[in-house]
Structure 1
């Protein structure tokens, strides 16, 4: 009991001496110094230089500890954020992939655009996940069909238009085989066909090659 009283008394005296200069961390610094043997502490209280040196070392150690704690906290928060997002994405992808839609990556990306709470709910609610998955799949298929329709329509119209113009030009050079030659030429790229319509000499050469192919 005497020892406890003695340590407590030493602590009070140390705190009183440390507080004026290090008020913010006086308690921690005092606690750190109190880990030293009582005789050493008693000697410190009598030797200002010894006490000042001990306090400075404690301050340095405390600053290092505080810096490490701060770094760990920041790092943990960053890791938690990234791991959380990555983990959510991976878990969601695994669940979406089970449905074998062929659009697992795209659907996962669409679902991840929601708030984190909504995504977490999807992971725990299979019914809601299926509903949103079907909705996303429907949207993707409609986009694909729409894009295909536009592309097919424009390609068809372009080919038909080129075919008609090309037929008229070919007919001037070979009326008898105009249909066959035009059909052969339409197998070429549209860029080449446009060039044939612009350049008479190039068209004549192409028609001549087609005629040779027909004869052989």
Structure 2
């Protein structure tokens, strides 16, 4: 089965699952979900909860895109007050793509002028291009950070460990060694996320501290 046939088959299966509950938007929702990677789509068709969540996200994104933006008509003060709301709407749209970097990509897109951000909310095609561009940038940064010419898996783990230790030491100098050791049991991808998201790191450190308190 070539790629075109595969997409068509998946599309038919998705449409038949979406149509009974969302007759009016079935075609559009199917099209949006078909933008996701093939393995994700296959998993969705086997996991009802995952499919339902993806449909709900796509539906919210579709409804947001169809609603005329009221933000542009408001005074400047109202615009700044509603920036959180714009960020939430943008996150919902970005999250549909299941990139694994929804928060980071949303943050990158929110650095643009408000007008450009509002355009993203109303233009799904433009949003898709921006998401792909941001994802490419993030992946290239990841490669630059971790793919040093002579690196092996062991070297990579050591570098991650050193960077992690220096951050953990700032949060809990007394237990830095223990906590770093506990966190290093996580998958490398999860560790990189901790290194790039300070808030997530703080939560992980607090959990490790709680575990240490239980053991002592």
Instruction: Provide TM-score, normalisation by structure 1.
Output: 0.34
Q: Which has the higher helix share?
A: 1
Which structure exhibits the higher relative contact order, with contacts defined as CA atoms closer than 8 Å and separated by 6 or more residues?
2
Mark the structure with the bigger radius of gyration. 1
